[in-house]
Amino acid sequence: MPQGDIFRMSIKYVKGVGEARARLLAKLGIYTVNDALNFFPRDYQDRSILKKINELQDGEECSVKATLVSDVTESKPRRNLSIIKTLVSDGTAFLSMTWFNQGYIKNYLKNGTEYVFFGKVKRNGMRLEMHNPVIETAEQSGKYTGRILPVYPLTKGLTQTHLRTVIENSLKLAENKFEEILPQNLREKYNLSQIGFSYEEIHFPQSLHHMEQARRRLVFEELLTLQLCLLKSKGISKEQKGNRFEPVDMSPLLNKLTFKLTSAQKKVFEEICNDMQSDRKMNRLIQGDVGSGKTIVAVMAIYMAAKNGYQSAFMVPTEILAEQHYRSVKQLFEDLGISVRLLTGSTKKKEKEEIKALAREGKIDVLIGTHAILEDDTEFYKLGLVITDEQHRFGVRQRAKLSVKGENPDLLVMTATPIPRTLTLTLYGDLDVSIIDELPPERKPIDTYAVNESYRERVYKFIRKNVAEGRQAYIVCPLVEDSGQIEAESAEGLAERIRDNELKGLRVGLIHGKMKSSEKDKVMRKFVDGQIDVLVSTTVIEVGVNVPNANLMVIENAERFGLSQLHQLRGRVGRGKYKSYCILFNQSKSDIARQRMEIMTSINNGFVISEKDLELRGPGDVFGVRQHGLPELKIANLYRDMDILKDVQKAVKHIIDNNLLLNDEYMLLNKKLDDIIKEKFNEISLN
């Protein structure tokens, strides 16, 4: 879409709008003609099917062309009710027409005249009838009947008819002014219709086939630009050269493990090995369900880098997790001659400086930490490998930032939020994907129960019973709003209450996002050491933390969490040899909440859950995309548009590999990408 004047014109100047209606349109995000054109129908009503009356079926919606064969009668059985009736025929049969409280209709209808009616057919005894049909004279028909009409999302005060008129008038203004940004050969190759046609037909399709064609093109363009923008803003071009590592004998490390690797872990490490031993830069995403053992795979890659004389950076989203990784990695590497240090926001200034100096001189092999690693003055002597754990917490920018901190270090990204495949392709189109699709043996499924308030007492009893057997429990409270205040209070309130009442006598700890890192660490360490029986927390414990003795996870207001998040939280238990449980307090009576709880109680596989999550949330609320700081999708639906996405993937690869964006025919597309990056990608969040 070019930024021609017409497209940027305020919507209030479009025929039929004006100030008042413009305010309503603003509520839908429509400020300009361009916004109106990109406000896509959520559905269509097919009024194009014209049927003979004798073919009509009870319950169907369609149009008929018929002549009035009786006078119009009006009755007023009650004060607020007027009923208008007439009879029509098309020569095949008769059809009764009834309108309720639409008195003006009677002035419009004339005995002997032919009209087109659209409505739902109802059987009434022997006779068929339509209630409140839409009506046009046969001569003028084509606007409200006899064609496919768009159905838009609405806001109070605006009707479908208003919105249709606004968009129709916007289309008229834009006619012949659309700018084609996709080169012809690309459109031909992927069967993409022209831009003008696409906008016309997505709003007012001649046929459903045309609509599908239009939609395909618009979805393709949306996903293509998103993906190219991602690649451009990351500065990633073709395959990059990276370091070539020599094979390493892994047995000293493997001998220190108390378990045997699963075959999935072995397979994924092999893939990593191949990447590292080639001179191509590794760009690999490891997906694995919670508890599938991603960390050790990362540690093996670090070991390999270190034995090749390269440093590694291991970045995680929270200090607690950094601490935990640090402790376990350090313990593994202690007598293998590999030095490990921890750098987080709460590292003391003096120590920070010392660590940074050592990293610069190459005297640290592995630096584990939070965002602090990203600070500009952290430099490495010879950085060969960058690992980010629980990637979904990092923005795209950060990934880019870290990978420039060395001479093209290999990149390993790990995520425990299983991402639906479509989303993986969209967000990480530039990454190769490895999946650890197997849990370590002897891991028992976590029994999950969704309960309501009436179970509260029993749940506390159950907690007491488990604690009496030496186990520990988590109770997670939702982050009510994006406000630290509320978050702290609700976890705090609960902790106070159960400490003095329901769970009196047990050691109840509290941890939440408003606490200082040092305090959080103190509490967490106590929990790890078994000095706390019940840990009340917000979602700060969501990722990665490992306390094998905890076997019970209670989640308050579970209806407020996303399914994937619930699965993450549940993954905090079931990490040891004890039978584990997850109890979801569901305070909602809605169907959706019930369905979601049902999914949680019946499915233990994170990948399946994330697919369901995407399916349930449906179009418009795309899982995780906003969380990743990406622009919202207007028309593409990552759940349904997998096939288009695959084509987009191919096109993107072709464009990048052949450096096509610099060609003349891609000039307009390239310019649009720059515009979008400037406008939207600057807001990428750093949470």
**Least distance to Mg ion from the beta carbon of 293, Å?**
8
Token pair 């004890």 is found at 578
**Least distance to Mg ion from the beta carbon of 294, Å?**
5
Is residue 565 a contact point for ligand ADP (CB under 6 A)? no
**Least distance to Mg ion from the beta carbon of 637, Å?**
30
- In terms of C-beta distances under 8 Å and separation of at least 24 residues, what long-range contacts does 238-242 make, across chains too? 238/656, 238/657, 238/659, 239/280, 239/281, 240/280, 240/281, 240/408, 241/279, 241/280, 241/281, 241/408, 242/278, 242/279, 242/280, 242/281, 242/282, 242/408, 242/409, 242/410
User: Which of 418, 429, 478, 544 touches Mg ion by CB under 5 A?
Assistant: 544
d(CA 665, CA 143): 38
Contacts of residue 521, defined as CB under 8 A and 6 or more positions apart, other chains included, come to: 319, 320, 323, 346
Q: Tell me the number of residues near Mg ion by CB under 5 A.
A: 1
Q: Helix, strand or coil for residue 390?
A: coil
In the complex with Mg ion, the residue whose CB is nearer, 369 or 406, is: 369
Give the length of the chain.
687
485 C-beta neighbours (distance < 10 Å), count = 10
User: Which of 133, 293, 478, 562 touches ligand ADP by CB under 6 A?
Assistant: 293
Burial 571-603, CB ≥16 within 10 A → b, else e: bbbbbeebebbbbbbbeeeeeebeebbebbeeb
In the complex with ligand ADP, the residue whose CB is nearer, 443 or 522, is: 443
Strand order from edge to edge, sheet including 508-511? 447-451, 581-585, 550-555, 472-476, 534-537, 508-511
User: Which of 575, 596, 612, 672 touches ligand ADP by CB under 6 A?
Assistant: 575
- 472 CB burial (10 A radius; 0-12, 13-18, 19+): buried
In the complex with ligand ADP, the residue whose CB is nearer, 214 or 290, is: 290
In the complex with ligand ADP, the residue whose CB is nearer, 223 or 547, is: 547
Q: Cβ(311)–Cβ(365) under 8 Å?
A: yes
In the complex with ligand ADP, the residue whose CB is nearer, 576 or 629, is: 576
In the complex with Mg ion, the residue whose CB is nearer, 544 or 562, is: 544
Backbone φ and ψ of 414, nearest 5°: -120, 135
Q: Which of residues 514-553 bind ligand ADP (CB under 6 A)?
A: 544, 546
Backbone φ and ψ of 233, nearest 5°: -70, -20
In the complex with Mg ion, the residue whose CB is nearer, 291 or 624, is: 291
Q: Cβ(666)–Cβ(660) under 8 Å?
A: yes
Q: Cβ(490)–Cβ(514) under 8 Å?
A: no
**Least distance to Mg ion from the beta carbon of 325, Å?**
8
Among ligand ADP, Mg ion, none, partner that 575 touches (CB below 5 to 8 angstroms by kind) = ligand ADP
Which one of 53-61, 98-106, 289-297, 493-501 is the stretch in contact with ligand ADP (CB under 6 A)?
289-297
User: Which of 294, 341, 512, 567 touches ligand ADP by CB under 6 A?
Assistant: 294
In the complex with Mg ion, the residue whose CB is nearer, 317 or 544, is: 544
Q: Both tokens of residue 208? A: 């459903």
- Which ranges of 154-207 does DSSP label H, i.e. alpha helix? 160-174, 184-189, 195-203
Question: Which H/E stretch holds residue 399?
Answer: helix 396-403
Q: Which of residues 35-64 bind ligand ADP (CB under 6 A)?
A: none
Q: Both tokens of residue 247? A: 């094979």
Cα 417 to Cα 269, 285, 560: the distances in Å are: 20, 12, 17
Q: Which of residues 258-317 bind Mg ion (CB under 5 A)?
A: none
In the complex with Mg ion, the residue whose CB is nearer, 164 or 325, is: 325
Q: Tell me the number of residues near ligand ADP by CB under 6 A.
A: 17
User: Which of 34, 283, 295, 670 touches ligand ADP by CB under 6 A?
Assistant: 295
Among ligand ADP, Mg ion, none, partner that 631 touches (CB below 5 to 8 angstroms by kind) = none
Backbone φ and ψ of 438, nearest 5°: -150, 135
Is residue 285 a contact point for ligand ADP (CB under 6 A)? no
Q: Cβ(418)–Cβ(610) under 8 Å?
A: yes
Which one of 164-172, 464-472, 531-539, 542-550 is the stretch in contact with Mg ion (CB under 5 A)?
542-550
Q: Both tokens of residue 579? A: 């039978």
**Least distance to ligand ADP from the beta carbon of 626, Å?**
24
Among ligand ADP, Mg ion, none, partner that 213 touches (CB below 5 to 8 angstroms by kind) = none
**Least distance to Mg ion from the beta carbon of 544, Å?**
4
Residue number of the CB closest to ligand ADP reads: 293
**Least distance to ligand ADP from the beta carbon of 572, Å?**
10
d(CA 592, CA 617): 9
Burial 269-300, CB ≥16 within 10 A → b, else e: bebbbebbbeebbbbbbbbbbbbbbbbbbbbb
In the complex with ligand ADP, the residue whose CB is nearer, 242 or 544, is: 544
Is residue 119 a contact point for Mg ion (CB under 5 A)? no
Q: Both tokens of residue 460? A: 């506390």
In the complex with Mg ion, the residue whose CB is nearer, 293 or 429, is: 293
d(CA 180, CA 10): 23
Which one of 99-107, 538-546, 596-604, 659-667 is the stretch in contact with Mg ion (CB under 5 A)?
538-546
Is residue 265 a contact point for ligand ADP (CB under 6 A)? yes
User: Which of 288, 420, 562, 624 touches ligand ADP by CB under 6 A?
Assistant: 288
Is residue 261 a contact point for ligand ADP (CB under 6 A)? yes
Pairing, β 366-369 against β 311-315:
parallel
Is residue 418 a contact point for Mg ion (CB under 5 A)? no
Which one of 28-36, 67-75, 261-269, 646-654 is the stretch in contact with ligand ADP (CB under 6 A)?
261-269
* C-alpha closest to that of 313 among 404, 247, 249: 404
**Least distance to ligand ADP from the beta carbon of 11, Å?**
49
d(CA 442, CA 579): 11
In the complex with Mg ion, the residue whose CB is nearer, 215 or 575, is: 575
In the complex with ligand ADP, the residue whose CB is nearer, 129 or 542, is: 542
**Least distance to ligand ADP from the beta carbon of 339, Å?**
22
Which one of 214-222, 290-298, 329-337, 342-350 is the stretch in contact with ligand ADP (CB under 6 A)?
290-298
In the complex with ligand ADP, the residue whose CB is nearer, 229 or 264, is: 264
Which one of 57-65, 127-135, 259-267, 651-659 is the stretch in contact with ligand ADP (CB under 6 A)?
259-267
User: Which of 292, 424, 434, 670 touches ligand ADP by CB under 6 A?
Assistant: 292
In the complex with Mg ion, the residue whose CB is nearer, 119 or 544, is: 544
* C-alpha closest to that of 158 among 11, 321, 285: 11
Name the residue type at position 317.
Answer: P
Among ligand ADP, Mg ion, none, partner that 291 touches (CB below 5 to 8 angstroms by kind) = ligand ADP
Alpha carbon of residue 541 to chain centroid: 21
Is residue 440 a contact point for ligand ADP (CB under 6 A)? yes
* C-alpha closest to that of 411 among 378, 388, 380: 388
**Least distance to Mg ion from the beta carbon of 389, Å?**
6
Among ligand ADP, Mg ion, none, partner that 415 touches (CB below 5 to 8 angstroms by kind) = none
Which residue ranges make up the site for Mg ion (CB under 5 A)?
Answer: 544
Instruction: Please give the residue ranges that form the binding site for ligand ADP (CB under 6 A).
Output: 259, 261-262, 265, 288, 290-296, 416, 440, 544, 546, 575
